[in-house]
Chains A and B, each alone.
Chain A
């Protein structure tokens, strides 16, 4: 293996296309791998205004036609998008004279393309599972079962399945019946420098856009979907207001937005909650820096990258004690853990942080140290590269070579 290790990443989102956490994950992982001497090609969906081909910090990004023709449902769209992605990726591999060592697929959203490319070019496939359908909202209905089985299919075809937390490793074993030696745990990372760079002036002017000077800011960042538990935070609000004057700032989009707006109105607390929708990175970082507490009230969370981001932004953290999220912070040391799906417990945690400044400072300082030590992308990409090399050693002994 004296030649450069070459990986083709398949992902349905890559900046500037950001839907969930996969986009940021693949962006940082790819750039760090490139820094560590891996040649990375990213094949992803197109996005208005983004070029079809560009080089981002030595990572070659190719954006393919994401099937804009109408589709009857989301799953069919995903499959059609994969059809296009696979064709264009195949063309790219042919142009590279087949010089791709590994295909790396992120979630079921690119399962078809990854599996097809594996067999056509006879190269190993690695899959990272950022979440599962069973965990998101179950697999009872037809479309959900199709997604669940597509996920299973991807784990079946993958040479290794990477999960971002110990919780997800055991969840994937249970959900797909996977053997232990197929699973690898590599935690998620966060880019600490990005937060350090935005210590700009004018933060108090910025803050005025969201809250009154006497209001403490409680920040939620995430998709407005059931499993993220935003509704639990809203339900905790009356109890929080008994002890502290706060404003809840909710950042993100999702199918629950209207439901949440109605809930807030019904409670007569519309003046205490702001829905910002999706915001750009700079606004988000500034919000993190203004926030008096960051809350991650998820009911199901494979990892919880928003918690890492809060820690990197030096904002005190309150999280629900569930899934991979639970592994990120230690109670009373790097954050406050509360019972999931329990508004009273959540209100208690938030109030505790807001009423005790010394405690809050201690939490955020410890948390900041922890992300620097454990969630540095450089170390994470090195571990990913180790997985590639192990798989390639097995591959060279297989009948495919």
Chain B
């Protein structure tokens, strides 16, 4: 199985705890014989890619340097994420099975790749804009929520880390119960749950790609 993970943070770039979580996830996937690629962002660690513990890491830099805020920064970075992901797709002879999008930032890229190649994606929710902004509804927050909404609609599966988050996702985005899978990091079943979800998404969407 070939999996591409999108995440806006990956060591050495750490914004929160997601960076180290994704590093551990990628390492465990490699141990379980999954070909794993990570597409992430870094301002100067470039070069085409780096192999670390069997994981192929693609770091992209924002093509537009002057930004109004994090939202415009994210939206131009998405095209670079698409470029890196497309390179992986063509270099592996189109053998990518799915994309695992960690949090909302690279949802636009994942949706475009889905429309272009029939590649399914999983939306792994770390947090929601409603929690981060304490329910604020400025135009900025609403725009980010619209991207989260897009992810909820287009994802093959939504993965959350707690029962509480499952209820929050259902409450805010009205997704059906069976779309959301709770996988608790640190639990003994963690990586086998992840693998099971990957396999079920990849198997369930084979017909779209062909």
The answer on A and B forming one complex is yes
Asked whether B143 lies within 8 Å of A70 as measured between CB atoms, the reply is: yes
B19 to chain A, nearest CB (A): 25
Asked whether B68 lies within 8 Å of A143 as measured between CB atoms, the reply is: yes
Residues B136-177 near A (CB distance < 8 A): 138-140, 142-143, 146-147
Assess A119 versus B86: contact at CB under 8 Å? Given A70-B142, A70-B143, A80-B143.
yes
Interface size class of A (residues with CB under 8 A): 35 or more
B185 to chain A, nearest CB (A): 30
A88 to chain B, nearest CB (A): 8
Asked whether B68 lies within 8 Å of A120 as measured between CB atoms, the reply is: no
Q: When chains A and B are docked, how far (Å) is the Cα of A121 from the Cα of B89?
A: 11
Assess A120 versus B82: contact at CB under 8 Å? Given A70-B143, A80-B146, A146-B68.
yes
Is residue A83 within 8 Å, beta carbon to beta carbon, of the partner chain? yes
Q: When chains A and B are docked, how far (Å) is the Cα of A142 from the Cα of B142?
A: 22
Interface bits B63-83 vs A (CB < 8 Å: 1, else 0): 111111101100110110011
Residues A149-197 near B (CB distance < 8 A): 149-150, 153, 156
Asked whether B64 lies within 8 Å of A115 as measured between CB atoms, the reply is: no
A221 to chain B, nearest CB (A): 33
Asked whether A119 lies within 8 Å of B68 as measured between CB atoms, the reply is: no
B188 to chain A, nearest CB (A): 39
Assess A116 versus B64: contact at CB under 8 Å? Given A71-B143, A76-B71.
no
Asked whether B68 lies within 8 Å of A142 as measured between CB atoms, the reply is: yes
Is residue B90 within 8 Å, beta carbon to beta carbon, of the partner chain? yes
B128 to chain A, nearest CB (A): 17
Is residue B13 within 8 Å, beta carbon to beta carbon, of the partner chain? no
Is residue A73 within 8 Å, beta carbon to beta carbon, of the partner chain? yes
Asked whether B115 lies within 8 Å of A69 as measured between CB atoms, the reply is: no
Asked whether B115 lies within 8 Å of A79 as measured between CB atoms, the reply is: no
Residues B41-69 near A (CB distance < 8 A): 63-69
Q: When chains A and B are docked, how far (Å) is the Cα of A119 from the Cα of B83?
A: 5
Is residue B120 within 8 Å, beta carbon to beta carbon, of the partner chain? no
Which residues of chain A are within 8 angstroms of B90 by Cβ–Cβ distance? 122
Asked whether A73 lies within 8 Å of B68 as measured between CB atoms, the reply is: yes
Which residues of chain A are within 8 angstroms of B143 by Cβ–Cβ distance? 69-72, 76, 80
Assess A146 versus B79: contact at CB under 8 Å? Given A70-B143, A120-B112.
no
Which residues of chain A are within 8 angstroms of B25 by Cβ–Cβ distance? none
One of A45-53, A89-97, A364-372, A388-396 contacting the partner: A89-97
Assess A116 versus B78: contact at CB under 8 Å? Given A72-B140, A72-B143, A90-B112.
yes
Assess A79 versus B72: contact at CB under 8 Å? Given A94-B118, A122-B90.
yes
Is residue A263 within 8 Å, beta carbon to beta carbon, of the partner chain? no
Asked whether A83 lies within 8 Å of B108 as measured between CB atoms, the reply is: yes
Is residue B182 within 8 Å, beta carbon to beta carbon, of the partner chain? no
Is residue A315 within 8 Å, beta carbon to beta carbon, of the partner chain? no
Q: When chains A and B are docked, how far (Å) is the Cα of A70 from the Cα of B63?
A: 25
Q: When chains A and B are docked, how far (Å) is the Cα of A153 from the Cα of B71?
A: 18
Which residues of chain A are within 8 angstroms of B78 by Cβ–Cβ distance? 83, 112, 116
Which residues of chain A are within 8 angstroms of B82 by Cβ–Cβ distance? 116, 119-120
Asked whether A72 lies within 8 Å of B139 as measured between CB atoms, the reply is: yes
Which residues of chain B are within 8 angstroms of A67 by Cβ–Cβ distance? 146
Is residue B116 within 8 Å, beta carbon to beta carbon, of the partner chain? yes
Interface centre among B83, B90, B116, by most A CB within 10 Å? B116
Is residue A86 within 8 Å, beta carbon to beta carbon, of the partner chain? yes
Which residues of chain A are within 8 angstroms of B112 by Cβ–Cβ distance? 86-87, 90, 116, 120
Asked whether A153 lies within 8 Å of B76 as measured between CB atoms, the reply is: yes
Is residue B18 within 8 Å, beta carbon to beta carbon, of the partner chain? no
Assess A115 versus B66: contact at CB under 8 Å? Given A70-B143, A76-B71, A90-B115.
no
Asked whether B146 lies within 8 Å of A75 as measured between CB atoms, the reply is: no
Asked whether A116 lies within 8 Å of B68 as measured between CB atoms, the reply is: no
Which residues of chain B are within 8 angstroms of A80 by Cβ–Cβ distance? 75, 143, 146
Q: When chains A and B are docked, how far (Å) is the Cα of A121 from the Cα of B86?
A: 8
Which residues of chain A are within 8 angstroms of B140 by Cβ–Cβ distance? 72, 76
Tell me the nearest residue of chain A to B139, going by C-beta.
A72
Is residue A331 within 8 Å, beta carbon to beta carbon, of the partner chain? no
Asked whether B138 lies within 8 Å of A72 as measured between CB atoms, the reply is: yes
Other CB < 8 Å A-B pairs besides A112-B75, A120-B116, 17 of them? A69-B143, A70-B142, A71-B139, A75-B72, A79-B71, A83-B78, A86-B108, A87-B111, A87-B115, A93-B116, A94-B118, A115-B79, A116-B83, A120-B82, A120-B117, A122-B86, A153-B76
**Residues of B that sit less than 8 Å from A by CB:** 63-69, 71-72, 75-76, 78-79, 82-83, 86-87, 90, 108-109, 111-113, 115-118, 138-140, 142-143, 146-147
What are 19 A-B interface contacts by the 8 Å CB criterion?
A: A69-B142, A75-B72, A76-B75, A79-B75, A79-B76, A80-B146, A83-B75, A83-B147, A90-B115, A91-B115, A112-B79, A116-B83, A116-B109, A119-B79, A119-B86, A120-B117, A146-B66, A149-B65, A153-B63
Closest 7 CB pairs of A and B: A145-B66, A79-B75, A119-B83, A90-B115, A90-B116, A72-B139, A91-B115
